[in-house]
Amino acid sequence: VTSFETAFSRVYDAIFPPRPSVQALLGDLADRAPAPRWLDVACGTGRHAIFLALRGMRVTAIDLDPLMIRQARRAAQRAGLSIDLRLGDMSRSETYRGLGRRIGGASCLGNSLVYAAAPGDLERTIGHIAACLVDGGCFLVQVVNFDHFADRPSYAFPPIPVPSAGLIFRRRYERLEGGVLAFHLELDSDAGGGETLKATHLIRPLTLADLESALEAAGMTVRERWGDFDRRPWSAEAPATVVLAAR
Ligand SMILES: C[S@@+](CC[C@H](N)C(=O)[O-])C[C@H]1O[C@@H](n2cnc3c(N)ncnc32)[C@H](O)[C@@H]1O
Express each pLDDT in 57-82 by its tens digit: 999 999 999 999 999 999 999 999 99
Average pLDDT over residues 173-201: 90
150, pLDDT greater than 80: no
Task: For residue 65, report the distance from its CA to the centre of ligand 1, in Å.
Answer: 8
Q: How far apart are CA 79 and CA 134, in angstroms?
A: 28
Q: From atom 8 of ligand 1, which residue's Cα is the shortest distance away?
A: 110
Please state the atom number of ligand 1 nearest to the C-alpha of residue 115. Answer: 16
Secondary structure of residue 173 in the 3-state scheme: strand
Q: From atom 13 of ligand 1, which residue's Cα is the shortest distance away?
A: 42
Looking at residue 165, what DSSP letter applies?
A: G
- Supply the pLDDT for residue 213: 98
195, pLDDT greater than 90: no
Task: For residue 62, report the distance from its CA to the centre of ligand 1, in Å.
Answer: 8
- Supply the pLDDT for residue 59: 98
For residue 204, the number of C-alpha atoms closer than 13 Å in the C-beta half-sphere is 17
**Best mutation site among 25, 115, 143 for ligand 1 pocket (most ligand atoms within 8 Å of CB):** 115
Please indicate whether residue 2 or residue 68 has the higher confidence score (pLDDT): 68
Task: For residue 44, report the distance from its CA to the centre of ligand 1, in Å.
Answer: 5
Q: Name the pairing type of β-strands 221-226 and 240-246.
A: antiparallel
User: Quick check: 115 and 108 in contact, CB under 8 A?
Assistant: no
- Supply the pLDDT for residue 168: 95
The interaxial angle of helices 20-32 and 47-54, nearest 10 deg, is 50
Secondary structure of residue 113 in the 3-state scheme: helix
Q: Amino acid identity of 163?
A: P
Q: Strands, E, within 74-209: which ranges?
A: 84-87, 103-108, 133-144, 154-156, 160-162, 167-175, 181-189, 197-203
Residue 194's pLDDT band (boundaries 50, 70, 90)?
confident
- Taking CB atoms and a 6 Å cutoff, what residues make up the pocket around ligand 1? 42-44, 47, 62-65, 68, 89-91, 109-112, 115
Write down the mean pLDDT value for the chain.
Answer: 96
